[in-house]
Amino acid sequence: MTSQEMIALCKKHTLYTWAAQDAVDPLAIASAKGVYLYTVDGQRILDFNSQLMSVLIGHGHPRVIAAMQKQMETLIYCYPQTATEPRAKLGKVLSELLPGDIDSFFFTTGGAEANENAIKIARQYTGRFKILSRYRSYHGATNATMQLTGDPRRWASEPGAPGFVRVMDPVPLEFSFGATEEEQTKNHLIYLEEMIQYEGPNQIAAFFIEPVTGTNGVLIPPKGWLAGVRALTRKYGILLVCDEVMAGFGRTGKWFSFEHGGLVGDQAPDIVTMAKGLTSSYVPLGAMGVSAAIADYMRSHVFSGGLTYNSHPLAMACAVSVLEVMKDEKMVENAAAMESVMRREMDRLTARHQSVKEARAIGLFGMFDLRKNGTGGPPHGRPGEMIAPYNGAHPAMGKLGKFFRDEGLFTFMRWSSFSAIPPLSITEEQLCEGFAIVDRGLDITDAVFEG
Ligand SMILES: Cc1ncc(COP(=O)(O)O)c(C=O)c1O
């Protein structure tokens, strides 16, 4: 098929996500290898977003393909009540990887289902109904996870199921609660505890957080916040659920992003949800990991969850192989090492381009925020208004997106921000290739900077 034929048929017979269908302008992709995508028309594109922040080991890794081929020749599918070797292996590997006593896993087909099951099990285990989450969050597009989600993607699903309570983030959108990170943490935890009182501490089953928030801006929590939340949830018997769907599996330079806040050993979360990087998106797979206390409870209580594709052998084998590759090729270590290159390039571009409000990174998880005005300097990033309003657009952002596409850089544009979230296999040279395109693109937003 030509790219035009592909696009026409895809648009005629399939629905695209989060869009009015006439506005969709898909790239026609023929193949992908390593950190590059190749279009049907022969353009090479640097994948600066790991597709949906999920292809962590890079595209088409031969070892994983071989492992999947081997599994396909032996056993592609059998029903969830069976035992299989890849399922046995993956459970064990994950129990060794996750901190604390998170040793028991339920496998789903993606992140939303992992969170759905976490809501279910948290309610059953605690006997409580309410669920807390943050406004600047995304947890999935199913019915309940849309209510967990704080960002505007939730609005079209409202009114949703009752029992979901959203809280403010530790750092508000454009201001700050205090001069230092410690003050921000202290003040926010005061508000959080007060909210818990208003909602009724013994009504709240769980608090869901992305320990480093993803699509809502690569938000790195202020110092002490994660530990403070752990202490507060323990104080009131509220389960802490860490959604590691996007930030997990090395993205931030550690296996799990909550490790940056010291949530390991006896401070580990009660439930961890995962997906995306678990198979590097080679096949759909999500997982919910639960603590020993919850796993023990489920030994004598019915777990009311099920999926035809639970513990799908092909997905299990794929995940085992992906995790081996990540360890053997030291990809988490590479993400940690590349953070300094990310920061160096981001600082360089911030100094060169007035329209950059802030550029931040943790590991290979990076985000640029652009501004339309503002003079002066830190302490809280550069002052000035975001180039587009919250949930809004600006023509220069559209132009910038088109520039990246024409120049062969695949990234994720949202409101005033765009991401730098490449596969963990990326080299310094390839990263610089991406930032060189970003450098030229930022002239577009500089041109509309009002001063
Ligand atoms: C933090 C987080 N949680 C959950 C999800 C939902 O995962 P899925 O799209 O696999 O259902 C996503 C997807 O982007 C996510 O980023």
CA of 282 to the centre of ligand 1 (A): 15
Tokens at 111, concatenated: 């992140």
Between CA 88 and CA 95 the distance in angstroms is: 11
Which residues contact residue 362 at a Cβ distance below 8 angstroms, ignoring those fewer than 6 apart?
212, 218, 220, 252, 253, 257, 260, 339
- The pLDDT confidence band at residue 380, using thresholds 50, 70 and 90, is low
Q: Which tokens hold the place of 144?
A: 């309940």
3-57+330-446: what CATH class?
A: alpha beta
Is the overall model pTM greater than 0.95, yes or no?
yes
The answer to whether 331 and 250 have CB atoms below 8 angstroms apart is: yes
Give residue-wise pLDDT tens across range 301-311: 999 999 999 99
Residue 133 binned pLDDT confidence (cut-offs 50, 70, 90): very high
**Residue of 54, 251, 276, 309 best suited for mutating to test ligand 1, as the one with most atoms within 8 Å of CB:** 276
In the Cβ-directed half-sphere of 54, how many Cα atoms lie within 13 Å? Answer: 18
Instruction: For a ligand 1 pocket test, name from 245, 249, 412 the mutation site with the most ligand atoms within 8 angstroms of its C-beta.
Output: 245
Q: In the predicted model, is pLDDT for residue 82 greater than 60?
A: yes
* Ligand 1 atom with minimal separation from the 142 CA: 11
The pLDDT of 419-437, averaged and rounded, is 98
Q: Cα(427)–Cα(84) distance, rounded to whole angstroms? A: 37
Query: In CATH terms, is domain 63-328 a member of 2.60.40.10?
Result: no
Distance of CA 306 to CAs 108, 222, 298, 310, 319, Å?
Answer: 9, 38, 14, 7, 20
Rounded CA separation 273/116 (Å)? 10
Domain residue extents for the chain: 3-57+330-446, 63-328
pLDDT of residue 174 exceeding 80, the answer is no
Average pLDDT over residues 425-429: 98
Closest protein CA for atom 7 of ligand 1 = 111
| Residue owning the nearest CA to atom 4 of ligand 1 | 139
Residue with CA nearest ligand 1 atom 8: 111
State mean pLDDT over 221-234: 98
pLDDT of res. 177: 62
Contacts of 26 (CB under 8 A, 6+ apart): 7, 10, 11, 16
Residue type, 193: E
The predicted model gives 163-190 an average pLDDT of: 88
Cis-peptide into 159, omega within 30 deg: yes
pLDDT tens, position by position, 429-451: 999 999 999 999 999 999 999 99
Alpha carbons 34 and 55: distance in angstroms, whole number: 10
Which residue's CA is the nearest one to ligand 1's atom 16? 246
Q: How confident is the model at residue 382 (pLDDT cuts 50, 70, 90)?
A: confident
Averaged pLDDT score across all residues of the chain? 96
Count of Cβ atoms closer than 10 Å to residue 219 Cβ = 20
Please check the confidence at residue 241 and state whether its pLDDT lies above 60: yes
User: Does residue 399 contact residue 370 with C-beta atoms inside 8 Å?
Assistant: no
pLDDT score of 356: 95
Residue 137 Cα: closest atom of ligand 1: 1
Strand locations in 221-279 (E): 239-243, 271-274
Q: How confident is the model at residue 173 (pLDDT cuts 50, 70, 90)?
A: confident
273 CA → ligand 1 middle, Å: 10
Main-chain phi, psi angles of 169, to 5 degrees? -80, 160
Rounded CA Rg of the chain: 22
Pocket around ligand 1 at a 6 A CB cut-off: 110-112, 115, 138-140, 210, 214-215, 243, 245-246, 275, 286
Q: Is the fold of 3-57+330-446 the same as that of 63-328?
A: no
Residue-level pLDDT at 379: 57
Residue 111 Cα to ligand 1 midpoint, Å, equals: 5
Q: Which contacts (CB < 8 Å, 24+ apart) does range 428-433 have?
A: 428/338, 428/341, 430/35, 430/46, 431/338, 431/341, 431/342, 431/345, 432/341, 432/345, 433/46
Q: How confident is the model at residue 288 (pLDDT cuts 50, 70, 90)?
A: very high
Of ligand 1's listed atoms, the one at least distance from the Cα of 111 is 7
Residues 181 and 223: beta-carbon distance below 8 Å: yes
Task: Kindly report, residue by residue over 310-363, the tens digit of the pLDDT.
Answer: 999 999 999 999 999 999 999 999 999 999 999 999 999 999 999 999 999 999
In the DSSP assignment, the letter for residue 335 is H
| Mean pLDDT (whole number) for 267-284 | 98
C-beta separation of 273 from 258 below 8 A: no
Cα→Cα distances 132→112, 189, 277, Å: 16, 14, 25
Q: At CB < 8 A and 24+ separation, what contacts does 336-340 make?
A: 336/253, 336/254, 336/363, 338/363, 338/364, 338/426, 338/428, 338/431, 339/253, 339/363, 339/364
If you measure from the C-alpha of residue 246 to the centroid of ligand 1, how many angstroms do you get, rounded to a whole number? Answer: 7
Q: What is the pLDDT, as a whole number, of residue 56?
A: 98
Specify the ligand 1 atom closest to the Cα of 109. 10
Distance 353 CA to ligand 1 centre (A): 32
User: pLDDT at position 172, please?
Assistant: 86
Q: What is the DSSP letter of 371?
A: B
Lookup: tokens for 427: 């080299």
What is the pLDDT at residue 378?
Answer: 60
Index of the ligand 1 atom closest to the CA of residue 54: 14
